[in-house]
Amino acid sequence: MTRAQIKIRFRKDRGLWEVDYRDAGGVRRRPLFADEERALARAAEIRRDLRGTTAVAPDRDITLAEYAEGWLATVAGELEASTWQGYRDRLRNHILPVLGRLKLRDLRRRRVKALLNAKRAAGYAPNGVRLIKAALSSMLTDAVDDELIDSNPALQVGRKKRRAGTVTAADRIQKIKPMNWEQRTRLLDAARREPRYATLFAVLAKAGLRPGEALALQPGDVDLRDRTLTVERAVNLGRVKSTKTYERRTVDLSPELARQVQALRWLKEEALRRGWGEPTWLFPNDAGKPQDKWVLGTAFRRTLKRAQLPAFRLYDLRAHLREPAPGRRRADHLREPAARAREPDDDAPLLREVDSVEGPTVGRRAGRRGAPPRAQFWNQNLEPSRSSDEDRRASGGKTW
């Protein structure tokens, strides 16, 4: 959703009308109103305010290429990094070479159809054609709000007739393929060959975190006294953002996983040696920044190959927690989460607390009510203090 895209919807769960938009700073806002009339009035005010902050000049003779340049700069801080990169690449590689010199006001539906048909004829997959159209349509929707064109000529192009091979939303959903417990054990054993990722893969598999959430963990998110992790942010393409669900949660750690996380304290010694000060991230790269998710995915595929396992997605690591531990029935596993967390061979997390928050949660702490202040991770003790070399061996690490 870009700045100019303001959505109005009725929230059945609350019985109120919601205006969903991003402000000039790119922060998502969702105020609620008692009736539709007030919601529409507020949406009109927001649209006027945001139009005054747009970086695109209201020039009705502007070309598609000129508008695209300003539009990409305007939405760069408002879209997810991966979404913005996808829009940029499809505009530069597929749309602007064909339509870039055309005046924005002269663009017609037939030209959009011709572009998409040419891509299909060139052998592009249906989903690839859909993404090209989505990038163009998103930009033209903002052009309508900027009063440069009267309507979006890419809107619903090709929707009237379902073409053979068209990819639907259901078709695009990748089926979850969880590992079984034996496969997870083999993977984590193989991960010890790459010490940099051993504890990280263990956190993904045993605590049920999404990859971006694990990469965004900071020392202050670890409570070894209560054996918990606080999850309240994620990293995507180097940007820190809120979690996928805009929620923060506290996840219990098994004793084994807590010992592995505790052993990461040897990283502080390495960080100080490199002159970084105290590490900001629990799983940093060589530059002290969060690991790149794509690099992590490459390491995951190497580990799968080493463990002689079939192809799995990195996201499938957390899905294996839905599978019952050996000796337990599926019905019992799904019905008794607390018992599941007590399984001797099961490191499944127990959600202790979920606080819904509105908007980004980056930078907030999620301590439990009434709990004493959390000790610094570097000073916490789960067991008698060990040397840095012992910590390094326990976490599977040898070098940074």
Same domain, 254 and 349: yes
The CATH code of the domain that includes 251 is 1.10.443.10
Contact 223, 230 (CB under 8 A): yes
Residues 135 and 37 in one domain: no
What does the pLDDT read at residue 165? 53
**How far, in Å, CA of 208 to CA of 206, rounded?**
6
pTM above 0.85, yes or no: no
CA distances from 163 to 123, 137, 221, 251, 336 (A): 15, 19, 50, 46, 46
Beta bridge partners of 251: 229, 351
List the pLDDT tens digit at each of the 400 positions of the chain: 444 567 788 887 778 888 888 777 666 788 888 888 888 888 888 877 776 654 444 566 889 999 998 888 888 777 777 888 899 999 999 999 999 999 998 999 999 999 999 999 999 988 899 999 999 999 998 888 877 888 899 887 766 555 555 555 555 555 667 788 899 999 999 998 887 788 999 999 888 899 999 999 988 898 888 889 899 988 887 778 888 787 889 999 888 888 888 888 766 666 677 776 666 788 888 777 888 888 888 999 999 999 999 988 888 888 766 665 665 554 444 433 433 343 444 444 433 333 333 333 333 333 443 443 444 555 565 554 444 455 455 555 443 3
User: Considering its fold, how many domains does the chain have in total?
Assistant: 3
Shared domain for 153 and 215, answered yes or no, is no
Which DSSP string do the residues of 353-373 spell out, in sequence order? EEEE-SS--TT---PPTTPPP
Same structural domain, 274 and 126: no
Residues 238 and 256 in one domain: yes
Question: Could you tell me the residue range of the domain that residue 25 belongs to?
Answer: 1-53
